Amino acid sequence: MARTVLILGAGASVDAGAPVMNDFLDVSQELLDNNDCDGNEEDFELVFKAISRMRQLHEKVNINVINLEEVFSAIEMGVILGRFGDIEGDELARLSKSLKRVICTTLERTMKFEFAKSDDRLQATEANLRLMGLLKRLEEKNTSKKLRSCVITFNYDLAIDIAFMFRKIDFTYCLDETNETVYPFLKLHGSLNWGKCRVCEDGIGSTTIWEGQTNKDGSHCAKGSPGTASHCGQLTINESVIVSPTWNKLQQARPLRNIWRRAAQELSEAQEIIIIGYSFPDADIFFKFLYALGSDSNTRVRRFIIGNPDESVEEKFRNLIGSGIQQRFEFIPERYNELMLLLNGHQKMTKKYPKFRPLT
C-alpha cells in the first residue's frame, strides 16, 4: 500500500457550512447587524472600521477588501508598520486580535452541527464521514505502523476534529511530542480550540470539550473554547491560536513549528499526495517552500491528485511540481463532497471518471 497524505483547503470547510473566502466578511457583517457576535461587538466594529479605511486606500492601491486573506494580511502589515489610516493607539494595538476574534466567531456561529441520534456526540457531515471511511480503509491495509496516512489542513474550524471524534478515531495535533500510535491531524494555520500557554513561551494546549449553543432549529454551534485547554498544568489563554494564511506566518507562528516540521516530514515520505479544496493563493509562498523542502527526498511520488472545482487551479499546481511527477498529476474539477465519493470508489463518480483509480 502507499503512504497517503491528504491536504485539505477552504473547500473542505465550505462543504461543512463555513462561508467562502470571498463572502466571509459579508457573513461577519450580517452577524454584527443581527446582534449575533457572541459578545464581541467591539471587535467586529473595529474590524469593519479598518476595512472602511482600506476602501479609502483602494483609490491608490488595489486591495481586495472583500477577500479575507487579503484583509488579514493588510491588517497584520498595518500593525507591524504602526499605521492604519486614523486607527492608532489602543485601537491599532488590538486590531489584529479583533480580526482573529471576528474570524473565530464567524466560523463558530455559521458552522452548524447536528447531534447524533444514538448519543450526545456531534455528528460529522456526510463528506467528512466519507473522509473517515477512507482513512480507516487506508489504515486497515497498513501492516506497518510507519506507513500511516496523514491529514494536513489549512482550516481553523472543527468539522474534521468532530468527525474524528464521531468515528472514535484517536488523533493528535502533534503540538508537543508526537504519539506515533494515533492518527496525525496537522492544522498548519492553527485551530479554534487551541490556546497559548500562560507559562512556557511557545506552548499550545488544545481541548476537544467545547462549549456550544443549541439553536432553535435543533442545530448546534461548537465554540473552540481555548480557555479550557491546559498546558504546563495551567489553563491556557482564552484566545484561539490562528495565524494569517499569507506571508507573515513564519514570524508570528513559532509555536506552530512542530506541526510544520511534521508536515514537511509527512510530505517527504508521501507516495500519494492529494490536495482538495485548496486554491493555492499567489501570496502563499509558505506552501510552495513547505512543498519544495518536504518533497526533497528519495521517496517516489506515485500519484499527485488535485481536486478543485476551480479549473484555473490546475495550472498553478502544474507549475509547482517538478517535471519528474508531471505524468503522475491528476486533476479532478470537483468539490470536496464529490471528491470523497470518487476517492472511496463510489459508483456515481467512478462512472464519470472511468480512468480514475480509487485509492487502494
Starting at the edge strand that comes first in sequence, how are the strands of the sheet with 112-113 ordered? 112-113, 220-222, 212-214
> Which residues touch 40 (CB under 8 Å, ≥6 apart)?
98, 101, 102, 105
Site residues (CB under 5 A) for Zn ion, limited to 199-228: 199-200, 203
Nearer to Zn ion, 93 or 199 (CB): 199
Q: Which is nearer to Zn ion, 100 or 231 (CB)?
A: 231
| Residue located via cell numbers 447524533 | 116
Please, is 357 exposed, middle or buried when counting C-beta atoms within 10 Å of its C-beta (0-12, 13-18, 19+)?
A: exposed
Smallest distance from Zn ion to CB 233, Å: 8
Closest separation between CB of residue 198 and Zn ion, Å? 8
Considering only 114-122, 128-136, 171-179, 192-200, which stretch makes contact with Zn ion by CB under 5 A? 192-200
Of 202 and 315, the one with the shorter C-beta distance to Zn ion is 202
Q: Which residues contact 107 (CB under 8 A, 6 or more apart)?
A: 13, 18, 156, 157, 192
Least separation in angstroms between CB 203 and Zn ion? 3
Residue nearest to Zn ion (CB): 203
The distance in angstroms from the start CA to the end CA of the chain is 7
Helix (H) or strand (E) holding 260: helix 257-269
Rounded to a whole number of angstroms, the minimum distance from the CB of residue 147 to Zn ion is 32
Binding status of residue 175 toward Zn ion by CB under 5 A: no
The answer to whether 21 touches 68, Cβ cutoff 8 Å, is yes
From the list 20-28, 198-206, 258-266, 293-301, the region that binds Zn ion by CB under 5 A is 198-206
Q: Judged by CB under 5 A, which of 3, 100, 148, 231 binds Zn ion?
A: 231
232 contacts Zn ion (rule: CB under 5 A):
yes
The phi-psi region of residue 232 (left if phi > 0; otherwise alpha if psi is between -120 and 50; otherwise beta) is left
Kindly determine how many residues on this chain lie close enough to bind Zn ion according to the rule CB under 5 A. 6
Q: Between 231 and 262, name the residue whose CB sits nearer to Zn ion.
A: 231
* Burial (Cβ within 10 Å: 0-12, 13-18, ≥19) of residue 309: middle
Nearer to Zn ion, 195 or 294 (CB): 195
What does the binding site for Zn ion look like in residue numbers (CB under 5 A)?
197, 199-200, 203, 231-232
